Chain A
Amino acid sequence: MAGWSYNQRVQSIRTRVASKLPLELLWNLTLRELRGQYKNSSLGWAWSVMRPLIQIVVFMAVFSVFLKIEPSTGNPSGMNSYGFFLMVGLLPWGFHQIGVTAAARSLSGNSALIGKVFFPRWVLPTSTILALFFTFLIEMGVLLVAMALIKGHFALLWIPVLIPLILLQLVFVVGFGLLVSSVNLYLRDVEHFLGIAMQPWMYLTPILYPLNLVPNDRYILGISYRTLYQLNPMVSWIKAYRNILYDLRFPSPERWGALFIGSFLMLAVGAAVFRRLEPRFAEEV
């Protein structure tokens, strides 16, 4: 726009509001989400554990008991439990799914704030995701304790390896959240689309079944089903979580590299789109 470049604007905002990252604000908004979430419900926080618990019971009944899907055997852990196989994949998926869909609504749902107060907008999707991340950490903690108690599993020793993976996934979800939240203000279809797309996406990720059930000897246009299947970035995430918590081994350096690059690429794209669209947020909400 004539006489008013984006950089100029960013510069003036920086000098006007704060030169440092608004960590206080981020933290306060995260607390708002956490505290507000289960107010006035008698079970309160128990609900955040109920959701994955009920999912797990249903999935175990349908896929393990009725359909008799065999989990892969942990190598080198030797673990063969559909329940844990499922949970190790389902919990990170749940964070991804809920984080992205909630972030998508985080700007459109705070129109009063965006239209009336100036503050860095990115804290809205980010704080929404951080609040859910907190729940995710609790779920993972419960899972680790359950594994240690029931299977005498050594997963607890793998926490130092798990932490970088969880943080990387947080980066990935925040990047994704920035992207969908900003685009959703211009095209409200995004939040509806995500609501529908998440379910098929979950079934096309090896959460309920091991990857080796995806045929490697059938082809579309000369590419095997499994190769196509692995284009889904969530396959890599689930594989890495299974490596650490189910197999008890390090994910390969290639896997780490791919996840690292993928996460920060996602964040870069999300942040770039967000910044591009941000100046007109107050008009679009």
Chain B
Amino acid sequence: MSSAAISVDHLSKRFRLTHERNQSLKAALLRGGRHHYEEFWALSDVSFEIPEGSTFGIIGSNGSGKSTMLKVMASILRPDKGSITVNGSLSALLELGAGFHPELSGRDNVYLNGAILGLTRADIDARFDAIVGFAELEQFIDQPVKNYSSGMYVRLGFAVAINVEPEILLIDEVLSVGDQSFQQRCTEKIAELNSDGRTIVIVSHGMNRLREMCDTAIWLDRGALREQGNPIDVIDAYLLDAQSGGRDSARAELIDARRKADVSVEILDASHLPTDVVDYRGSGTIRVRFDATDLPASSIVALGVYRHDGVHVASFNTLGSIDFVAKDVVTVDYHVENWPLQAGKYDVSVALHDHTMVEVHYRADKAASFQVQASSAVAEHGLVALGGTWTDQTPESWGE
């Protein structure tokens, strides 16, 4: 399943911004056929691949080109440069209930909306009960949709769109509609589609949801691809950027550089001496030292351990463990008695959050790295060494 559901190749999309509404013959004649508009590249030279069966997140601030990207994927917009290849049927939830006719009943609108999304009448007949059930509108399905509340309207739209069951589903922010229980069902339905091997592409501002759902993410910044890869890293990088003044990247780098000097991460061996080698199943400590003068009280230190190839091994933080008061320099240790890691190279990332875990004061990837030394006795592979023991439980008589 390594083939790409969508591959985006050096894609650029240009919009023409007209200063006045000059969509009139008079204006066109006065221009003498010349074009008077400003060009704006909503996407410039973006390349990435969305693996088949993945849940793929697209993040970025407003105006970064996320929605444009989805619309190009949905072939609503045409790229100006580059190309995009889509393998498989695709359905886009860019706006729920687009094309609903307010005067028509919910039933008629299900058929209408289904047809717009490419379903035949027989397809909709087969799905009708599931759609109405999902939307919980059994009582109201023969009412005109103009009498629906906005929640009912959107539920019906989502129920139709999700029951198209495309191979690739594009979702734009629409999860943030409906009440808590409906959102929960949407999330479950999406997870179900994903476990069927379908590809899900989500654009959202809900970082926690994306962190949970996605296995890959990209960050678009002013139409360009800024980061791609592990959603946790991409989201953290995005949040840090947003915290440190967002678009003013020069300033962000400056702050980053100043703060970097203030936080140190060290690996200590059993005798508390700095090292970069930890023995397999040996003891070791990660020590974080930083200047807390500028930080608010009850800040939280978070550490992440990643295998060298970027696989996330573990994360842990001081929430509920240490409640240190801000003073000049804070030192905290994270001690592990026997490191259950397989041999290899590992990186440690560090972040300082406020107590709500929302605001990131500081963050550094690969703040330190260490090596786990192979032991000749190890016969385990994978991410961690469980260190279990084998015993033979075969009944004695069996062998005779």
State in angstroms the CA–CA spacing of A24 and B83 once bound together: 30
Confirm or deny: A12 has a beta carbon within 8 angstroms of a beta carbon on chain B.
Answer: yes
Task: List the B residue with the shortest CB-CB distance to A37.
Answer: B103
The answer to whether A186 and B104 touch (CB under 8 A), given A4-B83, A25-B115, is no
B81 at the interface (CB under 8 A from A): yes
Interface 9-mer from B53-61, B69-77, B207-215, B272-280: B69-77
A283 to B99, Cβ gap below 8 A? no
Partner of A112, one of B10, B77, B95, B119: B95
Classify chain B's interface size. Answer: 35 or more
Q: Which residue of chain B has the shortest Cβ distance to A25 in the bound complex? A: B115
Q: Does B385 reach chain A (CB closer than 8 Å)?
A: no
Count CB-based A-B contacts (< 8 Å). 114
CA distance A36 to B101 in the complex (A): 7
The answer for the CA separation of A2 and B121 in the assembled complex, in Å, is 39
A29 at the interface (CB under 8 A from B): yes
Q: Is A196 in contact with chain B by the CB < 8 A criterion?
A: no
* Among B85-93, B333-341, B364-372, the stretch in contact with A: B85-93
Counting CB contacts under 8 A, is B78 at the interface? yes
Chain A residues with CB under 8 A of B103: 35-36, 39-40
A116 touches B98 (CB 8 A): yes
Contact, CB under 8 Å: B77 / A282: yes
Tell me, yes or no, whether B397 is within 8 Å of chain A by CB: no
Q: Is there a chain B Cβ closer than 8 Å to A159's Cβ?
A: no
CB distance from A52 to the nearest CB of B (A): 24
User: Are A28 and B98 neighbours in the complex by a CB distance under 8 Å?
Assistant: no
Contact A188 B24, beta carbon cutoff 8 Å = yes
* B86 CB contacts on chain A under 8 angstroms: 12, 16
CA gap between A29 and B101 in the complex, in Å: 10
Q: Is the CB of A32 within 8 A of B101?
A: yes
In the A-B complex, the 7 residue pairs with the smallest Cβ-Cβ separation, listed nearest first, are A28-B115, A39-B103, A116-B95, A279-B78, A189-B25, A25-B115, A116-B98
Using Cβ atoms and an 8 Å threshold, which residues of chain A touch B79? 1, 4
Q: For the complex, what is the distance from the CA of A110 to the CA of B112, rounded to whole Å?
A: 14
- From residue B110, how far is it (CB to closest CB) to chain A in Å? 10
B321 part of interface (Cβ distance < 8 Å) = no
B77–A283 touching, CB < 8 Å: yes
- Please tell me the number of chain A residues within 8 Å of chain B, measured between CB atoms: 42
Contacting residues, chain A, for B128 (C-beta < 8 A): none
B26 nearest CB neighbor, chain A only: A189
Taken residue by residue from 8 to 26, chain A's Cβ proximity to chain B (1 for < 8 Å, 0 otherwise) reads as 1100110011100010110
User: Is B82 in contact with A4, judged by CB distance below 8 angstroms?
Assistant: yes
Complex contact A118–B75 (CB within 8 A): yes
Q: Cβ of A24 and Cβ of B104 under 8 Å apart?
A: no
In the bound assembly, the distance between CA atoms of A136 and B89 in angstroms comes to 38
Most buried by B among A2, A8, A31, A32: A32
Q: Are the CB atoms of A32 and B112 closer together than 8 Å?
A: yes
Shortest C-beta distance, A17 to chain B (Å), equals 6
Q: Mark B144-183, 1 if CB is under 8 A from A, else 0.
A: 1000000000000000000000000000000000000000
B92 near A189: Cβ-Cβ < 8 Å: no
Taking the closest CB of chain A, its distance from the CB of B59, in whole angstroms, is 21
CB contact under 8 A between A9 and B81, given known A24-B120, A24-B121, A188-B24:
no
